[in-house]
Amino acid sequence: MSLLDDPRATFADLTRPEGWVLGVSVAFALFLLVAMLTGALGPTYFLFLVGLAGMYALLSFGLNAQWGFTGLINFSVAAFFGIGAYGSALMTASSSPIAGGFNPLVGLVVALVVALVLALLIGIPTLRLRTDYLAIASLGLAEVVRLVVLNERWLTNGSAGVRGIPGFFQGWPVLSTFPEAMPGLRLVVIPGSPIILGTSFWQSLLNVLLVLAFAGVTFFVLRRAHQSPWGRVLRTIRSDEDLARALGKNTYSFKMQSFILGSLIMALAGVFYTHLNLYVGPGDLDPITTFYAWVAVILGGSGSNRGALFGGIVIVTIREGTRFLNDVALPIDPAPMRLLLIGVVIVAVMRYRPQGVLPPQRELIWPSAVDGRATPETPDSGVRERKGGGGDE
Amino acid sequence: MTVLGYMANGLVFSSIIVLGSIGLSLVYSIADFANFAHGDTMTIGAYTALVTFGAVGGLGGAVLGLPFGFFVALVVGIGVAAVVAVATEKLIYEPLDIDSIGLLITSIGIAFIYRALIQIGFGSDFTRFDVQQLRPIESLVPYGVRVTLHDVAIVASAVVLVVGLHVLLQYTDLGRKMRAMADNPDLARVSGIRTKRVKLWTWVIGAGLAGAGGVFLGLFNQLSPRMGFNLLLVIFAAVILGGIGSVYGAMAGGFLIGMITQLTPFFSNVVEALPIGPGWLATLLENLITIEYANAIAFVIMVVVLLVRPNGIAGEGAT
């Protein structure tokens, strides 16, 4: 399985879509690298894009934990993302109409707590509903959240948004001064067009490391959760809720757990966005954010975390690529182009590959079971003994 | 404004919501999925009428403050909305081999494509129909009712369309087939009803009514590429309140939701006037029942109805 042990076997093991995705990704990365070396793409902007891709991947992970694992149609992604963003922005920003000026870590905790409360508020009434009703109800409640954020000026500063947000590492021992402390570098790859790496570059680098940390931890937590008995119950609910209930599972409780898990991850994406963008406005709660996350998840393959990662990158390519196209080639307003591309991707995926580009296959099975070389390890003791016969799994 | 004034506004807005919600409900029950592209079908109707009206002009005389050309534009708008919906059904939805959730997600993609194309064609700014803005009808102003002849035209046209639909559903062969299909598609099919054809007619009727609703929405407010999508959730609220799949429920739900959203400023006056128990409750209510939250109130009603009475006010049948 490992790339280092046996590279050739690993590549031979890839399914065709996996090979395609790998090939396209490598080609795309090379393209970006060339663009950066030739100076067409500023390194700071490149890192901003990487941060944005990480953020969408995080958002997609959150949705994946709800839709991909459990089959919950949550159309309130934007609300949780916005609550996460506003939660941390209002706690940390200098222009915050309420508290403000706290350490970003406090902002992170507050944002997650508020998102948890919102998840309960939205989840308790809606998770009992039929799937399509859940879709409509959650979209409606997300809209309610957006209207509240837009109109309660004393709390959120209304349509003006919140400015003066510090970076995430403000107030940390070494990292807060890291960008200023680093020397400005001047790289000359192609004579005549040097690349200058200044303070903003190091700032962006820190952001990228932050989102990598967030996304990495989330990825492994979700991967572990998905393969665990808990994840199996969620998958059972997704394919047949009555069956899960007949097996004695409290499906409402499991759905709620999965909903909260996903919502917290979305709020985490929002917290990161706050410190990446340094400005939060009511426009960030627009339903389009919800559908960006949806496109990423269904394109990547519902239930697949790798797919969500891939989808996140595609979304950033669509978002920023249209802007780039508008600057360079076609004088078409990027907003409708983006919308058109998103729509076409949704329809095309549902038409030609409803399972997504990278549907979860081996992801769902313990690695030792697919290796084929070794028989799956047999447990020393029975499952029941190990668990002490308890638990509601 | 007086209560009567708000109610008159509510009636006009309700007519638009009713036109939208009937189509959504029909498609929900017969094509069996929540069509998120329905709002943008309304936008298509509105912009088609804008283009047609610009091309044909006034055509001489006028009825209820609207030139004849506007009615031609209305008919063309209805027609184009129906044709676009049928083409979408034929090209996109029919070949799909997925469940109703997949169709729901696909319809979001369709909605984006519609809206993006309109935005590319017309820009994202607000526009208006090139008809003269009218003053409120003088004889009604003393009662606090400020409606124009255009508003009367909207309500009258909506009534004509709704009555037409009622006749179609109750007294024609197609209507009976549609009701049979809404009730039980499999049973309808084994009884020899050509369900595919009935489905196409459902799209024609639903999208046509949506197109008409869009034209009237443009006349009532303004036109913008987001007009339909912004109204979509309100229409969903109406459909759910009325009971999904029930056409008459959708009419009632549309009427109620339209009234509630337009009466919100009146309710806020009432709340301010009433001596409500503890002070904090009064403050809370006064803050929440304001015009900014008119739509939010509709959405909350929608969620409450889904929880308490998922079959809506139309009763247990839900068809």
Distances (CA, A) of A364 to A124, A217, A223, A239, A367: 29, 18, 9, 14, 9
Q: Tell me the shortest Cα–Cα distance from A157 to chain B, in angstroms.
A: 15
Residue B129 falls within a domain, yes or no? yes
Q: What are phi and psi of B308, to 5 degrees?
A: -85, -40
Q: Cα–Cα distance between A126 and A260 in angstroms, integer?
A: 13
- Kindly write down the DSSP assignment for every residue of A342-362, as one continuous string: HHHHHHHHHHH-TT-SS--SG
How many CA atoms, within 13 angstroms, populate the side-chain half-sphere of residue A217?
8
Q: Cα–Cα distance between A216 and A214 in angstroms, integer?
A: 6
- In this prediction, residues A342-351 reach a mean pLDDT of 91
- Tell if the CB–CB gap between B303 and A141 is shorter than 8 Å: yes
Nearest CB among B105, B123, B124 relative to A298 is that of: B105
Q: Cα–Cα distance between A265 and A215 in angstroms, integer?
A: 9
Residue B56 falls within a domain, yes or no? yes
Helix (H, G, I), strand (E, B) or coil at A201: helix
For residue A43, pLDDT over 70 is answered with yes
- Are the beta carbons of A84 and A112 closer than 8 angstroms? yes
- Nearest CA-CA partner of A149 in A187, A179, A114, A180: A114
Q: Cα–Cα distance between A79 and A285 in angstroms, integer?
A: 6
What's the mean pLDDT when you consider all of chain B? 87
- Which chain B residues are within 8 Å of A337, Cβ to Cβ? 116, 120
Task: List all residues of chain A from 277 to 296 with a beta carbon under 8 Å from chain B.
Answer: 291, 294
For residue A5, pLDDT over 70 is answered with no
| Domain coordinates in residue numbering, chain A | 54-366
Which amino acid belongs to residue A124? I
Substitution target from A144, A288, A289 for chain B, most B beta carbons within 10 A: A144
Instruction: For chain B, say whether A154 makes contact (Cβ under 8 Å).
Output: no
Alpha helix stretches (DSSP H) within B134-292: 149-171, 173-183, 185-190, 195-220, 227-242, 247-273, 279-288
What length does chain B have? 319
Instruction: For chain B, say whether A155 makes contact (Cβ under 8 Å).
Output: no
pLDDT given at position A188: 64
Q: How confident is the model at residue A2 (pLDDT cuts 50, 70, 90)?
A: very low
What is the ipTM, given to two decimal places? Answer: 0.86
For residue A391, pLDDT over 50 is answered with no
Q: Tell me the shortest Cα–Cα distance from A267 to chain B, in angstroms.
A: 22
Q: How confident is the model at residue A390 (pLDDT cuts 50, 70, 90)?
A: very low
Angle ∠(A233,A236,A242) on CA atoms, nearest 5: 110
Residue B144 falls within a domain, yes or no? yes
- Are the beta carbons of A136 and B236 closer than 8 angstroms? yes
- Tell if the CB–CB gap between A347 and B92 is shorter than 8 Å: yes
Neighbours of B85 (CB within 10 A): 29
Residue B242 falls within a domain, yes or no? no
Angle ∠(B218,B34,B290) on CA atoms, nearest 5: 50
- Tell if the CB–CB gap between A136 and B119 is shorter than 8 Å: no
Instruction: For chain B, say whether A137 makes contact (Cβ under 8 Å).
Output: yes
The helix (H) or strand (E) run that includes residue B70 is: helix B68-88
Q: Cα–Cα distance between A343 and B109 in angstroms, integer?
A: 4
Residue B136 falls within a domain, yes or no? yes
- Which chain B residues are within 8 Å of A344, Cβ to Cβ? 109, 113
* Tens digit of each residue's pLDDT (9 = 90 or more) over A263-306: 999 999 999 999 888 888 888 888 888 988 998 998 888 888 88
- Which chain B residues are within 8 Å of A346, Cβ to Cβ? 105-106, 108-109, 112
* Tens digit of each residue's pLDDT (9 = 90 or more) over A199-212: 777 878 888 888 99
- Are the beta carbons of B192 and B186 closer than 8 angstroms? no
Residue B235 falls within a domain, yes or no? no
pLDDT given at position A12: 65
Q: Provide the number of structural domains found in chain B.
A: 1
Most confident of A257-261, B25-29, B122-126, B280-284: A257-261
- Nearest CA-CA partner of B137 in B238, B282, B12: B12
Task: List all residues of chain A from 326 to 345 with a beta carbon under 8 Å from chain B.
Answer: 332-333, 335-340, 342-345
Instruction: For chain B, say whether A139 makes contact (Cβ under 8 Å).
Output: yes
Q: Which domain holds residue B161?
A: 3-228
What's the mean pLDDT when you consider all of chain A? 82
Residue B71 falls within a domain, yes or no? yes
- Tell if the CB–CB gap between A143 and B108 is shorter than 8 Å: no
**Taking CB atoms and an 8 Å cut-off, how many pairs form between chains A and B?**
124
- Which chain B residues are within 8 Å of A322, Cβ to Cβ? none
Query: Can you tell me which residue has the tokens 């709800």?
Result: A66
* Tens digit of each residue's pLDDT (9 = 90 or more) over B115-127: 999 999 888 888 8
- Tell if the CB–CB gap between B98 and A350 is shorter than 8 Å: yes
For residue A329, pLDDT over 80 is answered with no
- In this prediction, residues B78-96 reach a mean pLDDT of 93
